[in-house]
């Protein structure tokens, strides 16, 4: 019984001290921040493209 509890304790300590998934979480946060920045910039880009097409359209007409 003591051996079983000791093994369970050791496995719990290994799970608590494990840092293997930490890099994955950091990369996911970084990708999320980049995606949010791209989404925020899309509004400005679409406005600029719309102005360029309107300018070209009025020049050709």
Residue with tokens 């509890």: 5
Residue 50: count of CB within 10 angstroms of its CB: 10
DSSP, residue by residue, 34-56: HHHHHHHHHHHHHHHHHHHHHHH
Q: Give me the residue spans of the domains in the chain.
A: 21-61
Of 56 and 2, more confident = 56
Q: What is the mean pLDDT of residues 38-50?
A: 91
- What is the C-alpha separation between 26 and 35, in angstroms, rounded? 14
pLDDT at 55: 94
- Counting other chains too, the contacts that 41-44 makes at CB distance below 8 Å and 24 or more residues apart are none
Q: What is the pLDDT of residue 50?
A: 94
- pLDDT tens digit string along 3-43? 888 888 888 888 777 666 667 788 899 999 999 999 999 98
Q: What is the pTM of this model?
A: 0.49
């Amino acid at each position: 019984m003591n051996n079983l509890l000791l093994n369970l304790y050791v496995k719990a300590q290994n799970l608590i001290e494990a840092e293997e998934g930490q890099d994955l979480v950091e990369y996911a946060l970084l990708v999320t921040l980049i995606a949010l920045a791209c989404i925020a910039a899309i509004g400005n880009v679409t406005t600029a493209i719309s102005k360029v097409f309107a300018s070209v359209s009025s020049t050709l007409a």
